[in-house]
A and B are shown apart, each in its own frame.
Chain A
């Protein structure tokens, strides 16, 4: 794992981003005078991503991690708050500046079966990206395509074939090659390998790691698989109900989680060795509906440690050590002596 290349100001920063998706406001609800409802996908997310680092974003399905990824590449517009790239508000970019942003912040999608246009050959997919962003003069495009295929370790004769002729892992490599074609600074990988066989996952993830080092990419790695994130990320952010509830350096966060939810996530990871299996479930109940959020701490409804204050007041993301922050009223949670 490479160290982050620089500690200068954040390359990409997310400031208090909210995103709601309106639910259909049916006639019966309207007649009954009920207000329109919405899913609260993101509830004030703050995140700084430095140049050259890999940030893992983990959480259960429905915690808003994909929504956050889509806000980062501006596939979705935040309702409130902003995303800044090199200090510039991404929402205000227009024309050429907007295209430049699109080029520099690329996304790799979860589903390798729908993320490639089935009617375009690999060559067409790559050369379109190259020519739209004028990455190379037309004469040099074939050469560049050959380079890209080599970069993602696909055979040269892959260029003239259609996506359906490839396996899932190979398709994901094509997706990576497409993103790399425009020489981005940031790669947002949304569940890069969750659709792949376990045997192929490691190959693709290691490829991403090597490419990151080779091209000094900044990577936002969205996943639900903790082992993968631990393997690849410098820092990890844990999301719950559209909020980051803990963020810290990977080693610290995994060895000493400071939020009950992170603890529960780590405990829930399947363990092969029976001696290391935990005895009790660390959470109870179901994920609350993102339509009606809990009043206090978002995790209070499921937290085994919740006390009165947790149901009334939402805790802030506050420091727990170097670069380590958690949002929990139990400031000493996770510390060895705090158990007493």
Chain B
């Protein structure tokens, strides 16, 4: 008396659904293009991003310089392309550490609860009392400017957001019967937390990670703008916008094109986040 199942249910494990969510494809496409630009910028950039051309200072967009040139005669298009390397690197490096660390801490805190959770709550309160940007700027100011220190500064602050998200979600999941089933089976707490609860609790953190990558680019750009992030003459979108701000009236292209690049990158990450959320939605 085996029970037959509808053929539509005959899907094998680990196979992706036939129709991927559109935002995932859109975001993935944008970021894939960005990744290619970031890895091989010289293949696409028409000029050396650092080469001065005193014959074309602040030249408006033309066929020779589609995005124009800046106040040193550097090709804005080439600089925007080369900046992809640093900006995508910032997006990933500034967020992966906090994501991994915060997720691990949050999962354990959410599962253990009690006093541990109370102490954790106070730490979170202490960190989020400060405006994010102000705290990061303060830490970078102490450590000194530069990308490496920026990653550290972001990491010190950013993990609490992941930890808080995961802890809240794990607290919900650990009350469900499948967690009790694991305990009744005699599984270790580590196995229950990381193998059973975490996969069911991680979706919001993954979605937040995507948003956070976009925010990291904006933050890196803000710090670059303030001179605390990527250092000149390296091409970075925030630094470029900052450089162009003095010439907004006469050479708008110096700031506008790097700005558009930031918007597109942010859009890519956000779409990818939405798509992931849709893809990973738990079926009950």
Instruction: Determine if B186 and A132 form an interchain contact, defined as CB atoms under 8 angstroms apart.
Output: yes
Instruction: Determine if B185 and A182 form an interchain contact, defined as CB atoms under 8 angstroms apart.
Output: yes
B187: Cβ under 8 A from any A Cβ: yes
Distance (Å) between the CB of B270 and the closest chain A CB? Answer: 25
Instruction: Decide: A121 near B196, CB < 8 A? Known: A107-B184, A115-B178.
Output: no
Interface with A: B5-13, B77-85, B86-94, B255-263, which one? Answer: B5-13
Distance (Å) between the CB of B173 and the closest chain A CB? Answer: 9
Instruction: Decide: A132 near B200, CB < 8 A? Known: A118-B282, A155-B5.
Output: no
Instruction: Determine if B177 and A132 form an interchain contact, defined as CB atoms under 8 angstroms apart.
Output: no
Task: Give the number of chain B interface residues (Cβ < 8 Å).
Answer: 28
Instruction: Determine if A106 and B184 form an interchain contact, defined as CB atoms under 8 angstroms apart.
Output: yes
Residues of A within 8 A of B183 (CB): 75
Residues of B within 8 A of A120 (CB): 196
A123 to B184 alpha-carbon distance, docked (Å): 19
Residues of B within 8 A of A129 (CB): 185
Instruction: Determine if A119 and B186 form an interchain contact, defined as CB atoms under 8 angstroms apart.
Output: no
Partner of A102, one of B5, B184, B195: B184
Residues of B within 8 A of A311 (CB): none
A106 to B187 alpha-carbon distance, docked (Å): 13
Instruction: Decide: A132 near B3, CB < 8 A? Known: A75-B184, A123-B13, A162-B283.
Output: no
Partner of B284, one of A101, A132, A164, A170: A164
A118 to B2 alpha-carbon distance, docked (Å): 23
Residues of A within 8 A of B121 (CB): none
Contacting residues of chain A (128-181) with chain B, CB-CB under 8 angstroms: 128-129, 132-133, 153-155, 157-158, 160-162, 164-166, 170, 175, 178
B141: Cβ under 8 A from any A Cβ: no
Residues of B within 8 A of A175 (CB): 181
Residues of B within 8 A of A106 (CB): 184-185
A157 to B200 alpha-carbon distance, docked (Å): 24
Residue on A nearest B183 in the bound complex, by CB: A75
CB-CB contacts of B181-213 with A at 8 A, as 1s and 0s?
101111100010001100110000000000000
Instruction: Decide: A103 near B186, CB < 8 A? Known: A119-B199, A153-B1, A158-B5.
Output: yes
Task: Give the number of chain A interface residues (Cβ < 8 Å).
Answer: 44
Instruction: Determine if B5 and A132 form an interchain contact, defined as CB atoms under 8 angstroms apart.
Output: no
Residues of B within 8 A of A162 (CB): 13, 283
B180: Cβ under 8 A from any A Cβ: yes
A73 to B183 alpha-carbon distance, docked (Å): 9
Residues of B within 8 A of A75 (CB): 180, 183-184
Residue on A nearest B5 in the bound complex, by CB: A155
B interface secondary structure, majority: loop
A233 to B167 alpha-carbon distance, docked (Å): 42
Distance (Å) between the CB of A68 and the closest chain B CB? Answer: 14
B4: Cβ under 8 A from any A Cβ: yes
A170 to B187 alpha-carbon distance, docked (Å): 24
With contacts A116-B181, A119-B282 known, what are 16 further pairs, Cβ within 8 A?
Answer: A73-B184, A75-B183, A99-B186, A103-B185, A109-B177, A113-B284, A115-B176, A115-B177, A115-B181, A117-B178, A124-B13, A154-B2, A161-B11, A164-B283, A178-B181, A182-B185
B residues near A (Cβ < 8 Å) are 1-5, 9-13, 176-178, 180-181, 183-187, 191, 195-196, 199-200, 282-284
List of 4 A-B pairs having minimum Cβ-Cβ separation, nearest first = A102-B186, A164-B283, A115-B177, A109-B177
User: Can you sample 29 A-B contacts with CB below 8 Å?
Assistant: A75-B184, A98-B186, A102-B184, A106-B185, A110-B177, A114-B176, A114-B177, A114-B178, A115-B177, A115-B181, A117-B199, A118-B283, A119-B200, A120-B196, A128-B187, A128-B195, A129-B185, A132-B186, A133-B185, A153-B2, A153-B3, A155-B2, A155-B3, A160-B12, A161-B9, A161-B11, A161-B13, A162-B13, A170-B3
A residues near B (Cβ < 8 Å) are 70, 73-75, 98-99, 101-103, 106-107, 109-111, 113-121, 123-124, 128-129, 132-133, 153-155, 157-158, 160-162, 164-166, 170, 175, 178, 182
